[in-house]
Amino acid sequence: MKYRFSILLVAATLLRFVAPAQTIHSPSRKLALTFQLSPAGEPTYELKYGARTVVRPSRLAVLLQDQPGFDKGFTIANVDSSRHDDTWAPVWGEVKQIRNHYQELAVTVQQAAAQNRQLVLRFRLFDDGVGFRYEFPEQANLKYFTVSDEKTEFNLPADHRAFWMRGDYDTNEYLYSTTKLSEVSAAAAKPTPEIATQTPIGPNAVQTPLMLKSADGLYVNIHEAALVNYPAMALLVNGATHGLTSQLCPDATGAKAYLQAPAHTPWRTIVVADNAPAILASKLILNLNEPSKLTDTGWIKPQKYVGVWWEMQINKGTWSYSDANNIKLADTDFSKLKPHGRHAANTANVKRYIDFAGKNGLQGVLVEGWNVGWEDWFGNWKEEVFDFVTPYPDFDVTELQRYAASKNVKLIMHHENSGSVTNYERRMEPAYRFMREHGYDAVKTGYVGRIIPRGEHHDGQWMVNHYVRVAQKTAENHLMVDMHEPVRPTGLHRTYPNWLANEAARGNEFNAWSAGNSPEHETILPFTRLMGGPMDYTPGIFQIKLDQYAPQNKGKQVHTTLAKQLALYVTMYSPLQMAADLPENYAKFDDAFQFIRDVAVDWDDTRILAAEPGDYLTTVRQAKGKDEWYLGSITDENARQQPVKLDFLTPGRRYTATIYADGKDADWAKNPMAYRITRQVVTNRSALTLRLAPGGGAAVSFKPLP
Amino acid sequence: MKYRFSILLVAATLLRFVAPAQTIHSPSRKLALTFQLSPAGEPTYELKYGARTVVRPSRLAVLLQDQPGFDKGFTIANVDSSRHDDTWAPVWGEVKQIRNHYQELAVTVQQAAAQNRQLVLRFRLFDDGVGFRYEFPEQANLKYFTVSDEKTEFNLPADHRAFWMRGDYDTNEYLYSTTKLSEVSAAAAKPTPEIATQTPIGPNAVQTPLMLKSADGLYVNIHEAALVNYPAMALLVNGATHGLTSQLCPDATGAKAYLQAPAHTPWRTIVVADNAPAILASKLILNLNEPSKLTDTGWIKPQKYVGVWWEMQINKGTWSYSDANNIKLADTDFSKLKPHGRHAANTANVKRYIDFAGKNGLQGVLVEGWNVGWEDWFGNWKEEVFDFVTPYPDFDVTELQRYAASKNVKLIMHHENSGSVTNYERRMEPAYRFMREHGYDAVKTGYVGRIIPRGEHHDGQWMVNHYVRVAQKTAENHLMVDMHEPVRPTGLHRTYPNWLANEAARGNEFNAWSAGNSPEHETILPFTRLMGGPMDYTPGIFQIKLDQYAPQNKGKQVHTTLAKQLALYVTMYSPLQMAADLPENYAKFDDAFQFIRDVAVDWDDTRILAAEPGDYLTTVRQAKGKDEWYLGSITDENARQQPVKLDFLTPGRRYTATIYADGKDADWAKNPMAYRITRQVVTNRSALTLRLAPGGGAAVSFKPLP
């Protein structure tokens, strides 16, 4: 040991001479990033927020199959640093314009002992965090290579409080846990039978975005940006050292990524702030993504929609058409199946949703279960499940196309592929052609089940490439896409703005048939899953208690109040928002539904007024091109008084504030559907105090008076 | 041990009462097959040829993942036996009509200890062998299931001489070995560096079709028929017991097959005869395949073709267009690449082949290397290699379409996918559309390289389904297909007659750049690979010595005489025959080329006049719809006199026999290009004696005199 130590000291002395530390500061000097080679020539970085350490010196390493790794033995070949500052406008989003302002450091390191191979470590240091990635330049001795592992460290200085989800290669639909980092391993063992396809990585693995809070009030969020042609990253937690290490999703053979130089990894991102709202306001991940690849974007329409969907979640109807349970897509004559009479996607029922959408100005009607194959679609690792072009006998695609058009409504296509992606890829071209021929302009895809190619995972490189391919192919066909059960998003909606939303987390429907989502769930999601992009959470359930629909729903309910469901349209950002409940329930509570009719889905401005992960969140947003504001305020299981200053309103102007609040005795468990709607005239000097029930919330619309 | 023995005895006594042996005989009683349950309730079969044992009692078992296997504990639930006799006409083939005459035995066995699951063992006993398969009927307790293993035994009675190829999940391109069964393991270790993608199963594994010969002159061939939705079968050899056991190709997870009842395995086939020609004449495998699924078959045309191909094999030209070696299909601008000037598939050169084909009445011109992506297409397990629709800048697809049509020639498309099958499947629809738009009606596919989906093999269930899908999709587009590097064929060309041929064995091109094919190679292929269907062997090389083309060809040559190359057009049956050499070589030997101009590719009759695996083969065939006969006779490394009686000719008619024979001192190694063409008038009472040089052959055309 001693011998080795002294060797290292000598080496350190020598190397320090050639490799001094490189430090850059963020534009306003809030953050400092230091790059340094270790005595063994290992690249390391360190991140500070003022005097406070965000990340202690941490190694950066990518290991390769059948050749030396990019991990050590480096010397510095070149250092570049530059300032970048510009502003860009997203096709749609939370704000009209986004400033992209950072100091960049690009360090080229070289391995004398490995054919002088070079690697570039590129850091972009913003005032609200850092993004860095590995770049593999084209060079004589590196062309095709296989990543066997990436060992990026995030060594935290203390045992932070963590808002985390179990690391898994196939699902993002666990509940979140809130523990200290050192408690992750012990807490991870809870069974989650409601998730059918799970591949847990191990007891110490967590997913990104990982939200952390230090004892001294520093908020740190770790994720990745622009995940393309690479597997998703999870993090392995060392409870003793508070060190995190990247863990990539493997392919069927155990390898991680097949790359061809020039190539690079996604950006590893660390968003830092001394207050929680600033984390939610960060545009760092979007800034690290490539600009839109689509030039013509006029056909992309943020929208609200209803759907033949919740009625299946609550056992009122079914996706399937018959009780047959042994379907062979190529052989079964679906017109000969005996209908069981509970098939929800029948022409008459779909027309009811079209009528409702048309009457209420919602743009879309999603229909699930319209196409043949649902009788035994799940759980068999079966390749030929759906063909995406054949409707059930009771779904009249031509008549519904005509009818929807007459009501100025668009049907939204549904492409559940049950994880059989080889089958979906074979059929994508005819499926999209079918959509164009039948007036569809948006598709919800689904990946419920084990992936085919067998041995691949939802989060592996092959699937990551698939999701991007779907975004590209739908864009080529002028189709918008909403992906369910994909890898967690990383800001790619900037690059492919037709990729409106993803699920990729535990949505509202878990309330219908599992232990459900905890009342704090929606206060954590914005700090975790939503850091990567919009979520199709499917809010708007007004009939909170679900017993009434079917015996198997006994005790099931949504774990919020009705008013909180309204607030989610603002707190859970998405350009695609479902009004998920049944038309008949909205008819019963039409006064509350007015908020859903009114609320925008595209915004010129957004302010996070108050936030604490796991506790509460209040957000207000200005509708695109209008002086209308919409506010959502939610709490966890605890009741809260939320004061709100209205100084975001235009000075000198009067507004009608319509407040959709929890009723007096409202409580998510005991009295969830009590709500009260009040109106008052306000100005930018007014203030409101919103009373949030346990598990409750409030929604407010502000419309200018003439 | 003793205890167990007595238990078995008691069980045996009990079970024998309920499960007597079931014996059936082939139509003319040449063969007898006995089915019996063992004392442990294991299905077994035994096959006899007269008094001689072909297969000793051998177990039949299919093992399943996560549930009891179909291997033991069976009782007999039902026994059915029936006679079948009919005759059918292939769309194209070696004979005009095929008789399908067998005795069938279907035994339904049931497992009391496994939820009364049932299995059907179906045997079809012909006079020239048997086919049997496992059938999994639809039943309450069997719907979706995964085959973890199949353990079908073929217990041979003695240490037969075997003509075998190493068992491998990814290639069929090894040379054959001829050893006793007991010597297989020792012989299997030879390195074969010329095959880039190998996954040897193990030292005791051999491929099917496996050709065997007993000491007392019984010929036995083991293979499979109608391989669909199941992995290919290899055989594990027990050198001590002379027992063979099936070994299925695994998928990426190690499983063998994903099935949904009703389902069945392919037929396991054993062809038996007391003479070698009868093995080659057997239509058992075709008979076990389903009839044609295509009703309109007028567009399917057996044909001869030339191609821009051999010049790349002999290093005269290249598939690639430039010396770039780091291509990204999506990013590279191929029009900007600097051409290296050796690209063979250029418009002018292709026109030369079109001219040649047109002048000589050959129907097709294959062009390899026409499309972008060849610069670094191989060996990188890269997914996006080719797009199948973008020609290199010097290949004018529109002009060539026009030019070929003007010469009454069709271009043959080439779809090498380098094993990246996910990429090919995504692009198949546009690729076939491109073919239709540009006048192509046939495609040669290629699967050189490791398969993507990564972890899958050329011979696994997923790929087996892929090949069938290609046959189906090409048929839907009225395209003929010729697959290279697929799984070995199993008679599916009966079902998909647009699937003209396969490579799936070591073709003629190995002579150009490896140790080559042994002089006996073509005498073994008909007894092995060709038992499953036509091979695109690409014969017709006249310029036998290859040194002249390029320095790296030093010492390379085709391991036959020129005359033997002609004989192969008859001895190697295929409805698709390449004239593989360069037009300029054919111009030099135009008198010999006359045989290729003349020889038919579709036949009304075929007679195997003499054959011995590994030694010699003489075949004569009658051209479709004509009284013209073509004879091919080949030998191994030994010179031979082959007497031929012409009693196949129409009595009373006179024919001109044109004999293309080895020259006087011809020898495959020393003087391979010496040939002699003679003509004589013959009748059905004439006889010829063909003098075959070492590694030589003879070809004869018989045309009736007016």
Does A359 contact B at CB distance below 8 Å?
Answer: no
Mean pLDDT (chain B, rounded): 96
* H helix or E strand, kind and range, residue B545: none
Proportion of chain A above pLDDT 70, given as a percent: 97
Does B462 contact A at CB distance below 8 Å?
Answer: yes
Does B138 contact A at CB distance below 8 Å?
Answer: yes
Which residue in A has a C-alpha nearest to residue B470's C-alpha? A426
Measure in Å the smallest separation between the Cα of B140 and chain A Cα atoms: 11
Is residue B692, in this structure, part of any structural domain at all? Answer: no
Non-local CB neighbours of B365 within 8 Å, separated by 6+ positions: B305, B306, B307, B308, B350, B353, B354, B357, B404, B409, B410, B411, B412
| Average of per-residue pLDDT across A412-435 | 98
CB contacts of A261 in chain B (<8 Å) are 326
How far is residue B113's CA from residue B429's CA, in Å, rounded to a whole number?
Answer: 49
Q: Is the pLDDT of residue A178 over 90?
A: yes
Q: Residue B2 — very low, low, confident or very high, per pLDDT cuts 50/70/90?
A: very low
Q: Is the pLDDT of residue B423 over 70?
A: yes
Contact B454 A255 (CB under 8 A): yes
Predicted local distance difference test score (pLDDT) of residue B8: 39
CB contacts of B258 in chain A (<8 Å) are 380-383
Contact B454 A328 (CB under 8 A): no
Non-local CB neighbours of A634 within 8 Å, separated by 6+ positions: A522, A523, A560, A564, A567, A568, A571, A616, A617, A618, A692, A696, A697
Q: Which one of B143, B258, B380 has the shortest CB-CB distance to A326?
A: B143
| Average of per-residue pLDDT across A512-528 | 97
Q: Give pLDDT tens digits for B158-198.
A: 999 999 999 999 999 999 999 999 999 877 667 889 998 99
Does A381 contact B at CB distance below 8 Å?
Answer: yes
Q: Is the pLDDT of residue A325 over 90?
A: no
How far is residue A17's CA from residue A151's CA, in Å, rounded to a whole number?
Answer: 26
Which residue in A has a C-alpha nearest to residue B326's C-alpha? A143
Does A429 contact B at CB distance below 8 Å?
Answer: yes
Q: Please give the residue range of the domain that contains residue A59.
A: 21-287
Measure in Å the smallest separation between the Cα of B376 and chain A Cα atoms: 10
Count Cα atoms within 13 angstroms, Cβ side, for A340: 16
**Plot region of B299 (φ>0 → left; ψ -120 to 50 → alpha; else → beta):** alpha
Q: Is the pLDDT of residue B11 over 80?
A: no
Does A641 contact B at CB distance below 8 Å?
Answer: no
* H helix or E strand, kind and range, residue B428: helix B421-437
φ and ψ of B673, to 5 deg = -100, 5
Contact B143 A325 (CB under 8 A): yes
Predicted local distance difference test score (pLDDT) of residue B191: 82
How far is residue B651's CA from residue B654's CA, in Å, rounded to a whole number?
Answer: 9
Measure in Å the smallest separation between the Cα of A426 and chain B Cα atoms: 5
CB contacts of B169 in chain A (<8 Å) are none
Residues of A involved in catalysis: 509
Does A261 contact B at CB distance below 8 Å?
Answer: yes
Is residue A294, in this structure, part of any structural domain at all? Answer: no
How far is residue A274's CA from residue A281's CA, in Å, rounded to a whole number?
Answer: 13
Helix A461-476, helix A421-437: angle, nearest 10: 10
CB contacts of A455 in chain B (<8 Å) are 251-253, 453, 455
Count Cα atoms within 13 angstroms, Cβ side, for A540: 31
| Contact present, A261 and A136 (Cβ < 8 Å) | yes
Proportion of chain A above pLDDT 90, given as a percent: 96
Is residue B155, in this structure, part of any structural domain at all? Answer: yes
Is residue B196, in this structure, part of any structural domain at all? Answer: yes
CATH classification at residue B279: 2.70.98.10
Q: Residue A513 — very low, low, confident or very high, per pLDDT cuts 50/70/90?
A: very high
Contact B252 A376 (CB under 8 A): no
Non-local CB neighbours of B202 within 8 Å, separated by 6+ positions: B167, B236
How far is residue B272's CA from residue B212's CA, in Å, rounded to a whole number?
Answer: 10
Measure in Å the smallest separation between the Cα of A464 and chain B Cα atoms: 14
Is residue A104, in this structure, part of any structural domain at all? Answer: yes
Is residue A440, in this structure, part of any structural domain at all? Answer: no
Predicted local distance difference test score (pLDDT) of residue A188: 67
Does A137 contact B at CB distance below 8 Å?
Answer: no
Interface size A-B, in CB pairs within 8 Å, comes to: 91
| Contact present, B320 and B525 (Cβ < 8 Å) | no
* H helix or E strand, kind and range, residue B219: strand B219-225
Predicted local distance difference test score (pLDDT) of residue B691: 98
- A139, A199, A426, A450: best to mutate for the B interface, most B CBs within 10 A: A426
Q: Is the pLDDT of residue A1 over 80?
A: no
* DSSP string for residues in A538-589: -------B-GGG-GGGTT-B-SS-HHHHHHHHHHS--SEEE--S-HHHHHHT
Sheet containing B153-155: give its strands across: B22-25, B31-37, B43-49, B52-59, B153-155, B243-248, B233-238, B205-207
In the stretch 574-593 of chain A, residues with CB closer than 8 A to chain B read: none
- B422, B427, B452, B457: best to mutate for the A interface, most A CBs within 10 A: B422
Q: Give pLDDT tens digits for A22-78.
A: 999 999 999 999 999 999 999 999 999 999 999 999 999 999 999 999 999 999 999
Q: Give pLDDT tens digits for B64-85.
A: 999 999 999 999 999 999 999 9
CB contacts of A146 in chain B (<8 Å) are 381
CB neighbours of residue A13 within 10 Å:
10
Proportion of chain B above pLDDT 70, given as a percent: 97
Q: Give pLDDT tens digits for B594-610.
A: 999 999 999 999 999 99
CB contacts of A469 in chain B (<8 Å) are 426
Does A3 contact B at CB distance below 8 Å?
Answer: no
Q: Give pLDDT tens digits for A444-487.
A: 999 999 999 999 999 999 999 999 999 999 999 999 999 999 99
Q: Give pLDDT tens digits for B110-123.
A: 999 999 999 999 99
* H helix or E strand, kind and range, residue A429: helix A421-437
CB contacts of A462 in chain B (<8 Å) are 383, 422, 453-454
| Contact present, A193 and A215 (Cβ < 8 Å) | no
Predicted local distance difference test score (pLDDT) of residue A12: 43
* DSSP string for residues in A430-497: HHHHHHHHTT--EEEEE--SS-BSTT--TTSHHHHHHHHHHHHHHHHTT-EEEEES-PPP-STTTT-T
CB contacts of B428 in chain A (<8 Å) are 426
CB contacts of A456 in chain B (<8 Å) are 453
Contact A426 B430 (CB under 8 A): no
Is residue B94, in this structure, part of any structural domain at all? Answer: yes
Predicted local distance difference test score (pLDDT) of residue B667: 98
Is residue A305, in this structure, part of any structural domain at all? Answer: no
Measure in Å the smallest separation between the Cα of A315 and chain B Cα atoms: 25
Measure in Å the smallest separation between the Cα of B426 and chain A Cα atoms: 5
Count Cα atoms within 13 angstroms, Cβ side, for A409: 30
Q: Which one of B260, B429, B430 has the shortest CB-CB distance to A382?
A: B260
Give the bridge partners for B339, in sequence order: B322
Where would I find the H helices in B183-290?
A: 184-187, 276-281, 284-288
Nearest in space to B545 (alpha carbons), one of B583, B568, B509, B512: B512
| Contact present, B564 and B570 (Cβ < 8 Å) | no
Q: Which one of A146, A426, A469 has the shortest CB-CB distance to B425?
A: A426
Q: Give pLDDT tens digits for A565-590.
A: 999 999 999 999 999 999 999 999 99
Contact A252 B255 (CB under 8 A): no
Contact A382 B143 (CB under 8 A): no
Measure in Å the smallest separation between the Cα of B476 and chain A Cα atoms: 15
Split into its structural domains, chain B has a count of 1
How far is residue A127's CA from residue A84's CA, in Å, rounded to a whole number?
Answer: 12
Predicted local distance difference test score (pLDDT) of residue A8: 40
Proportion of chain B above pLDDT 90, given as a percent: 96
| Average of per-residue pLDDT across B223-228 | 98
Q: Is the pLDDT of residue B15 over 80?
A: no
In the stretch 360-379 of chain B, residues with CB closer than 8 A to chain A read: 376
Secondary structure letter of residue A261 according to DSSP: S
In the stretch 152-191 of chain B, residues with CB closer than 8 A to chain A read: none
Sheet containing A303-308: give its strands across: A499-502, A480-484, A442-446, A410-416, A364-367, A303-308, A576-578
- A138, A332, A381, A454: best to mutate for the B interface, most B CBs within 10 A: A454
Q: Which one of A138, A258, A469 has the shortest CB-CB distance to B381?
A: A258
Contact A143 B376 (CB under 8 A): yes
Predicted local distance difference test score (pLDDT) of residue A9: 41
Predicted local distance difference test score (pLDDT) of residue B188: 67
Q: Give pLDDT tens digits for A359-400.
A: 999 999 999 999 999 999 999 999 999 999 999 999 999 999
Measure in Å the smallest separation between the Cα of A248 and chain B Cα atoms: 17
Q: Which one of B253, B260, B325 has the shortest CB-CB distance to A455?
A: B253
pTM for this predicted structure: 0.95
Contact B426 A430 (CB under 8 A): no
Does A71 contact B at CB distance below 8 Å?
Answer: no
The catalytically annotated residue of B150, B153, B509, B520 is B509
